[in-house]
């Protein structure tokens, strides 16, 4: 089973004292990451991701110093040990998917414009045919972002990010993968990919 936690960084963005209080609770690695970010919203959501990881570490009685990243940036517990987890953020929302049993990848996207150029460049023939068959404008945008989050979530599960994700065909059936989708804060879609 995968649990999804989310954190809206609005208060971190607007309340300096609260930001400082939370900053001191997260790992030094996260503090260094936050320190390097100049854009306030991106800083706040990076801290939000750090808070979600801290909460996970507390729940699992893990020292956050144990978390490492692979050569592509995937955060994990060394030795392929649980908890398996994945992080994503968009605008002010950070999400964390955690599983005790299976590798996971998560991605969140804002359901914005339909991106024809990205479809042409990165989507498979089967995906393009599927999208071309949708008449309803909102449904088409939702499906575009649902597929995109599937590609990213899979790439994050594998651990090399978009290089694997972009060639992943979301219209195929994969017996060892399970995808779940949910809408958060109205116009954001979150996809979790779990490998059995
Ligand atoms: C992983 C990737 C798809 C993230 O895309 P994004 O949409 O910009 O960002 P998201 O908000 O969805 O995800 C960011 C989180 O993904 C995680 N992440 C980063 N690289 C990852 C990877 N290779 N696999 C799994 N998760 C990864 C991090 O936890 C990051 O959050 P944090 O920086 O706050 O800790 C993209 O950065 C990528 O393809 N990275 C690999 C590129 C690479 O090989 N780089 C090598 C040099 S480090």
pLDDT tens for each residue of 111-130: 999 999 999 999 999 999 99
Structure tokens at 120: 């042409």
Inter-residue contact 30 to 67 (CB < 8 Å): no
C-alpha closest to that of 105 among 183, 165, 45:
165
The CATH number of the domain holding residue 121 is 3.90.470.20
Q: Which of 75, 99, 123 is the last residue of a domain?
A: 99
Name the residue with the closest Cα to ligand 1, atom 40: 161
Distance from Cα 73 to the centre of ligand 1, integer Å: 6
* CA pair distance 34, 123, nearest whole angstrom: 33
pLDDT band of residue 80 (cuts 50, 70, 90) is confident
Residue that is last in its domain, among 99, 125, 159: 99
Classify each residue of 82-98 as buried b or exposed e, where b means 16 or more C-beta atoms within 10 Å of its C-beta.
ebbbbbbbbbbbbbbbb
Quickly count: other Cβ atoms within 10 Å of residue 14's Cβ: 11
68 and 138: one domain?
no
Strands 84-90 and 93-99: antiparallel
Name the domain boundary from 99, 134, 165: 99
74 lines ligand 1 (CB under 6 A): yes
Model confidence pLDDT, tens digit, residues 12-43: 999 999 999 999 999 999 999 999 999 999 99
Q: Are 104 and 2 in contact (CB under 8 A)?
A: yes
Q: Is the pTM of this model over 0.85?
A: yes
């Amino acid at each position: 089973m995968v649990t999804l936690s989310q954190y809206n960084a609005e208060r971190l963005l607007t309340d300096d004292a609260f930001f400082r209080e939370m900053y001191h609770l997260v790992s030094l690695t996260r503090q260094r990451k936050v320190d390097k970010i100049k854009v306030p919203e991106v800083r706040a959501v990076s801290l939000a991701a750090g808070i979600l990881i801290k909460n996970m570490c507390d729940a699992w009685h893990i020292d956050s110093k144990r978390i490492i990243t692979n050569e592509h940036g995937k955060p994990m517990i060394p030795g392929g040990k649980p908890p398996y987890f994945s992080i994503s953020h968009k605008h002010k929302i950070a999400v964390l998917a955690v599983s005790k049993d299976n590798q996971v990848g998560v991605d969140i996207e804002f359901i914005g414009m339909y991106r024809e150029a990205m479809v042409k460049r990165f989507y498979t023939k089967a995906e393009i045919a599927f999208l071309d068959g949708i008449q309803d404008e909102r449904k088409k945008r939702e499906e575009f972002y649902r597929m995109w989050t599937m590609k990213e979530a899979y790439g994050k599960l594998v651990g090399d990010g978009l290089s694997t994700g972009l060639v992943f065909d979301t219209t195929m059936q994969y017996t060892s993968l399970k995808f779940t989708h949910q809408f958060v804060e109205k116009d954001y879609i979150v996809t979790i990919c779990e490998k059995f």
